[in-house]
Amino acid sequence: MSSGGTPPGSPESRRIVLLRHAKADWPQVSDHERPLADRGRMDAPVAGRRLAQAGIAFDLALCSTATRTRETWKLVVHELPHRPRTVYEERLYEASLGELIALLNEVPDEVGDLLVIGHNPGMHALADALAGSVEGDTLSRMNRDGFPTSAYAVVGFTGSWKTLEHGSGRLLDYCTPHD
């Protein structure tokens, strides 16, 4: 679904795109405040262009409050054909798998397609956990590559966000900046 709203509880197809932030630098700042490295500033727009080509019209973007995720989002969103509503969510930073699923369970049912800009190991673990089924060799490729910076996975599922749990999705796509 892309905008327009469907009654809460309707069994509809939804997509979650789990985007790991772009490559960060290691200056003498706290981990939360680490900015993007030069490579990250080059890779993030590439991820944005690929997301635009995928044709997903995001209804909502949830972005970690860390500097590197906010900078990644700023570069990605300029490549998208439309800017979704954005929520900067501090709970995404250092979230466990259980915390990430709980956060997704809070997403309003008016949201069809969701973009999450976060961190590893969370983004990789979440994509792996949600994938009850997989398109082709997508899962083995994702696990082999290890979910590098600026990589994203697309997970589809049917139903309410409240029902999203381990194995309830389908891993539809996985992309790295060097594919």
Per-residue pLDDT, 4: 41
What six digits make up the tokens of 65? 């409050």
pLDDT tens digits, one per residue of 46-89: 999 999 999 999 999 999 999 999 999 999 999 999 999 999 99
The mean pLDDT value for 123-139 works out to 88
Amino acid at 15: R
The answer to whether the beta carbons of residues 3 and 81 sit under 8 Å apart is no
Please name each of the domains of the chain with its CATH number. 18-175 (3.40.50.1240)
Q: Is this prediction's pTM over 0.95? A: no
What DSSP letter does each residue of 19-53 carry, written as one string? Answer: EEPPPBP--SS-GGGPPBPHHHHHHHHHHHHHHHH
DSSP state of 58: -
Is a pLDDT exceeding 90 seen at residue 179?
A: no
SS3 63: strand
- Residues across the chain: 179
Could you tell me the pLDDT band of residue 11, with boundaries at 50, 70 and 90? low
Residue 30, Cβ density class (10 Å: 0-12 exposed, 13-18 middle, ≥19 buried):
exposed
Is a pLDDT exceeding 50 seen at residue 8?
A: no
The mean pLDDT value for 149-166 works out to 96
The CA distance from 154 to 170, in Å, is 8
Per-residue pLDDT, 26: 95
Is a pLDDT exceeding 90 seen at residue 169?
A: yes
